């Protein structure tokens, strides 16, 4: 009986030590942490009507969509678009990208977007969700070529499909 009690005590002790070491490891008790703050925050004027998405390029330029206002169709088109922000010069304000090609700026109501950079040429292609002027039935994806030097987006094509649908959730307060 004495031997059985000692064996049980050793098993419980081993489990307790294992569990304690596991908790220490999971919580990162002995991990060195560095207090890093990216810098002071500030309000950047120019996105008064909401920003949906941001993508940062390898050169420190961030592309930001703005003007998507959740079903509000009276957002002035002068605020809708894609803007750039230069993280290399954070004191500078936003720059609104100009459009070239066959898409009218007033027909562009951007939502989310994705940026693809060609590894070989370095060219940047932007795929942006566009709700269109008539918010409820005009879903498309607009494809642009980004020109960093001219600060413009050249419209390449519009992709439409009947499977592009918007799901509206009505919230009750």
Token representation of residue 35 = 């207090």
Dihedral, 82, 88, 90, 93 alpha carbons, nearest 10: -40
What does the alpha-carbon distance between residue 156 and residue 150 come to, in Å, rounded to a whole number?
16
Give the H/E segment covering residue 129.
Answer: strand 124-130
Residues carrying an active site annotation: 111
Instruction: Compute the residue count for the chain.
Output: 173
What does the alpha-carbon distance between residue 131 and residue 47 come to, in Å, rounded to a whole number?
18
**Residue 115 three-state SS:** strand
């Amino acid at each position: 009986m004495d031997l059985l009690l000692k064996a049980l005590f050793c098993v419980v002790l081993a489990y307790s030590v294992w569990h304690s070491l596991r908790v220490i490891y999971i919580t990162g008790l002995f991990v060195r942490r560095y207090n890093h703050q990216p810098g002071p925050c500030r309000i950047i004027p120019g996105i008064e009507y909401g920003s949906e998405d941001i993508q940062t390029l390898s050169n420190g330029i961030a592309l930001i969509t703005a003007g998507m206002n959740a079903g509000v169709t009276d957002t002035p088109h002068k605020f809708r678009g894609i803007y750039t922000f230069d993280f290399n010069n954070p004191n500078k304000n936003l720059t609104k990208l100009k459009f070239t090609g066959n898409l009218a700026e007033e027909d562009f109501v951007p939502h989310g977007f994705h940026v693809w950079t060609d590894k070989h040429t370095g060219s940047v292609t932007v795929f942006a969700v566009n709700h269109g002027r008539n918010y409820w039935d005009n879903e498309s994806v607009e494809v642009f070529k980004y020109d960093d030097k001219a600060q413009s987006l050249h419209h390449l094509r519009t992709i439409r499909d009947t499977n592009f649908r918007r799901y509206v959730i009505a919230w009750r307060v």
